[in-house]
Structure 1
Amino acid sequence: MSWEWFGDQDYWASRLVFQRMLAAIYLVAFVVALNQFRALLGERGLLPIPRFVREVGFRRSPSLFHLHYSDRFFFAIALSGALVSAALVAGLADGLPVWAHMLFWTVPWVFYLSIVNVGQLWYSFGWESLLLEAGFLAIFLGPAHVEPPVLVLWLLLWLLFRVEFGAGLIKLRGDRCWRDLTCLYYHHETQPMPGPLSWYFHHLPRPLHTVEAGANHVAQLVVPFVLFAPQPAATVAAGIVIATQGWLVLSGNFSWLNVITITLAVSTVDGHLFPMSPPTPEESPLWYRAVVLALTAGVVVLSYWPIRNLLGHGQIMNYSFNRLHLVNAYGAFGTISRDRHEVIIEGTDDQVVSADTTWREYELKGKPGDPRRRPHQIAPYHLRLDWQLWFVSLSSRYGSRWLPELATRLLAGDELIVKLFRRNPFPDSPPTFVRARLFHYRYTTPRERRETGAWWVREPVGLVIRTCTLAADGKAVAAGSPD
């Protein structure tokens, strides 16, 4: 049997760039975990991992932390994942034997899978599964001295197709504004975490927003099929994906969702377009070829569920059909909010709450707070508390498991929790009372912006957490005071 078909040296440079970019995303993901896990998931976190692993078995959430958990162990896992990822970015694994190269890439996948599977709602985002699925396929791409295996390149293409086409279908089947091309009238203002340019995107002429929405349908419903065409058509299609995802990077903050989609598209680009010359390839081991064949067969079998989901009437998005997060369903923004609401957490050190009480805000790092503060560029970094508070602004039930504990920790002046915020209004001693109010936000008009210097106009519309204080047992309780 001839194995000439197995590798394609034309994608040698594409593979190399893909591997570097994916490793960089892994690095960001592990740095995020290092910076935030103690407050969110640690032994004293809002949703502690030790409690989770007692209630949920290994089969339901495969993770190294079922074997042992301590904050030190989590830190060691996340730090090791970051160091290995940095080594992969630097290309230190490129010259290794095939088996060692595969082992090198397996380490960050196993470590990040272990984090995601105990991460609970803090890790419930589609880009976590996307990173794990792409990371798993990367294990089998091989080092620089062997040809990129064609089958794995096709599996990456199949993943990119599901990401783009799934997102296109969920829009077409979802909110009516996607069908009448008006969703972009609202999206730049109501998206979870606006970026520094989002205000300007929102104020583009409405005909351009219509073009944006129409172009999105073309990019996600038509272009994905062209990705399977011969070159150079496939490279042109990949270029369109990269351009549209780059537009999303400029217009908002979506963690590493857009960056990893761009990374997947890079694997489809003709390698001759990169200024790198491939070496003379070595013959790949027979066992490696057998493993790639087995991988392909496994993905084909697992593809039944996402294909059924794409073709079915009740399409779901960002769903994993197995605990290893392989061959998942993807999609985003099937529904667009028309109005923006923000949860604003406030505290006071007054001993009694009255109508004259002065409340001070806990400023979040990414989401809007002070109307005069310009939104920051956060992505590809992921601010997990900020994102979850966006869901709470849609419905308070999203915070039912952790918001009361958050209030308790703020009243206690917990340093781990306070570090999740951009500004602590009580640096010397914790507040005596806290509350969370819901505000309606809208962008200022260009005229309002010139006159006031503000990016937002806001007004209070309700309460998320009523005024509370610490009880004798150290838990937050309603204060029975006017809000």
Structure 2
Amino acid sequence: MEWFTAPDYWLSRIVFQRGLAALYVVAFLSAALQFRALIGERGMLPVPEFLRRAPARGTPTLFRLRYSDRLFAACAWTGAAVALALVAGAGDAVPLAVSMLLWAVLWVLYLSIVNVGQTWYSFGWESLLLETGFLAVFLGNADTGPPVLVLFLLRWLLFRVEFGAGLIKIRGDPCWRNLTCLYYHHETQPMPGPLSWFFHRLPRPLHRVEAGANHVVQLVVPVLLFTPQPVATVAAGLMLATQLWLVLSGNFAWLNWLTIVLALAAVDGSLVAGEHPQPDPPVWYVVVVCAVTALVLVRSYRPARNLLSRRQAMNRSYDPFHLVNSYGAFGTVGRLREEIVIEGTDEPALHEGTVWREYEFHGKPGDVRRVPRQFAPYHLRLDWLMWFAALSPAYAEGWFGGFVERLLRGDRDTLRLLRRNPFPDAPPTHIRARLYLYRYTTWRELRATGAWWHRTYVRDFLPAARLRTPADR
């Protein structure tokens, strides 16, 4: 069985598994704390309504058996508890089969959530977590050495994440080819972080170096993952450094952190730790891993073909189980940043002097004097969809009207998704949404005004709206 295991990667496996389990904790917490307003029984996109019209074959989920908000919460909190136990090392304290079962439970629970999450769960890092989590089921524990085949599949996944992102950029926006995309990206990215203003104000020649280095790391370095050690470790280290740069420059949920965890799985642990003898794997485990490897390789045909296609698609799943997917990010970079600002008033009748008060979100820009916060790897789903809605009203279809209605009703679950409710005593009588053009201030403007942003009114996104009364019918 010497061909089957790679004992030198025992430490890499531990770090990978603990890191992945920690990200599972974050993902399940994000689901538990936000679902009621988004997809709950009285949410903006209720799960029961979705399940009635969605084909069962295309949306495998435990909630096909039964759905209630209480059951969803139980699944989310159970997932968080199991993941926390794995962070603490439970996977190595139990027999191999039990350890695999624990990882499988996480995967099934999160798959069940993603497949009913609709537009709120349409991000590439959801599929990435599921694909990584599926492979983690077969990575083993202290009862056996890390299987070479699964380590290879993890590198194949990391390769697709990085190489796919590199290709989508080169094939997409011309600013990536002329190295100018980062003149804009730090300002227009979905959710800036506390250092994004400073990244934007770096000298333009350094932005060009950033873009050029990105191409090298995403288009050249991934190939080195399949070379002998220590070259593969160096390649993984370069990817890790690049991802840390992205962590500092913005908020991308757990995308960067999960890529870092994948890169750590490619590091030769023997470079920092000695050998750690482990038992030979049982025959049943070898058979299962070989079968799973064959399945993943067969399922890799369409994602591999997508990489070679001139019409490359990014963040696409090819089966409802999200086993092998296509990835990519920022094939197009916006030059201008528009933001939707939600305002309300408690005045019974509107007039020219009506006083409007602004709702504040946790992550997305609003108050120009508020420094953007760091939330990643936690995922603020409403904030992200608000960024997409500002790009095009099409992204707001299906949920935005329900969001406004819930603000007018003072829905507690919806208000918990916001940083500040300007109407703590009673709901407003009217809500409106306005579109503003945001830009970062200059150093001089920041010193003079204390504002990180400057904003200019563009147009109304939603005219003043109120709840319908019997007299309106």
**TM, length-normalised to structure 2:** 0.99
Match of residue 240 from structure 1:
238
Aligned partner (choices 307, 313, 322) of residue 319 of structure 2: 322
Match of residue 104 from structure 1:
102
RMSD over aligned CA atoms reads: 1.2
CA distance in 2, matches of 1:24, 1:66: 28
Shift of 1:274: 4.0
CA distance in 1, matches of 2:326, 2:293: 18
Match of residue 207 from structure 2:
209
Change (3 A) 1:60 1:355: same
Q: Conserved in 2, the CA contact under 8 Å of 1:145 and 1:280?
A: no
Q: Conserved in 2, the CA contact under 8 Å of 1:14 and 1:274?
A: no
3-state SS, counterpart of residue 316 of structure 2: coil
Match of residue 18 from structure 2:
20
Match of residue 461 from structure 2:
464
Match of residue 341 from structure 2:
344
Question: Counterpart amino acid of 1:108?
Answer: L
Aligned partner (choices 279, 289, 306) of residue 292 of structure 1: 289
Question: Counterpart amino acid of 1:323?
Answer: P
Q: Conserved in 1, the CA contact under 8 Å of 2:342 and 2:358?
A: yes
3-state SS, counterpart of residue 57 of structure 2: coil
Q: Conserved in 2, the CA contact under 8 Å of 1:320 and 1:329?
A: yes
Q: Conserved in 2, the CA contact under 8 Å of 1:362 and 1:423?
A: yes
CA distance in 1, matches of 2:48, 2:124: 24
Shift of 1:279: 3.9
Seq. identity, %:
63
Aligned partner (choices 140, 143, 162) of residue 142 of structure 1: 140
Q: Conserved in 2, the CA contact under 8 Å of 1:449 and 1:455?
A: yes
Match of residue 481 from structure 1:
none
Question: Counterpart amino acid of 1:300?
Answer: L
Shift of 1:278: 5.4
Change (3 A) 1:279 1:177: same
Question: Counterpart amino acid of 2:384?
Answer: W
Structure 1 gap segments, 5+ residues each: 478-483
Match of residue 480 from structure 1:
none
Change (3 A) 1:249 1:474: farther
Structure 2 gap segments, 5+ residues each: none
CA distance in 1, matches of 2:191, 2:52: 34
Match of residue 310 from structure 1:
307
Shift of 1:101: 1.0
Match of residue 158 from structure 1:
156
Mapping for residues 23-422 of structure 1, pairs under 5 Å: 23-275=21-273, 279-422=276-419
Q: Conserved in 1, the CA contact under 8 Å of 2:236 and 2:264?
A: yes
Q: Kindly provide the CA deviation profile for residues 139-166 of structure 1, in whole angstroms up to 9, marking residues without a partner as x.
A: 0000113100000000000000000000
Shift of 1:353: 1.1
3-state SS, counterpart of residue 467 of structure 1: strand
Question: Counterpart amino acid of 1:256?
Answer: W
CA distance in 1, matches of 2:222, 2:275: 28
Question: Counterpart amino acid of 1:98?
Answer: L
Aligned partner (choices 424, 427, 431) of residue 427 of structure 1: 424
Question: Counterpart amino acid of 1:304?
Answer: Y
CA distance in 1, matches of 2:449, 2:470: 46
Question: Counterpart amino acid of 2:462?
Answer: I
Q: Conserved in 2, the CA contact under 8 Å of 1:228 and 1:234?
A: yes
CA distance in 1, matches of 2:48, 2:146: 41
Shift of 1:44: 0.8
Question: Counterpart amino acid of 1:338?
Answer: R
Shift of 1:462: 1.0
Shift of 1:259: 0.2
Q: Conserved in 1, the CA contact under 8 Å of 2:23 and 2:254?
A: yes
Q: Conserved in 1, the CA contact under 8 Å of 2:7 and 2:277?
A: no
CA distance in 2, matches of 1:212, 1:171: 14
Shift of 1:474: 11
Shift of 1:389: 0.4
Q: Conserved in 2, the CA contact under 8 Å of 1:341 and 1:439?
A: yes
CA distance in 2, matches of 1:240, 1:326: 26
Q: Conserved in 1, the CA contact under 8 Å of 2:10 and 2:276?
A: no
Change (3 A) 1:474 1:60: farther
CA distance in 2, matches of 1:251, 1:274: 29
CA distance in 1, matches of 2:444, 2:195: 17
Q: Conserved in 1, the CA contact under 8 Å of 2:7 and 2:276?
A: no
Shift of 1:473: 6.2
Q: Conserved in 2, the CA contact under 8 Å of 1:13 and 1:278?
A: no
Question: Counterpart amino acid of 2:314?
Answer: M
CA distance in 1, matches of 2:104, 2:230: 33
Q: Kindly provide the CA deviation profile for residues 293-337 of structure 1, in whole angstroms up to 9, marking residues without a partner as x.
A: 101111111011001100011000000000000110000000000
Q: Conserved in 2, the CA contact under 8 Å of 1:11 and 1:148?
A: yes
**TM, length-normalised to structure 1:** 0.97
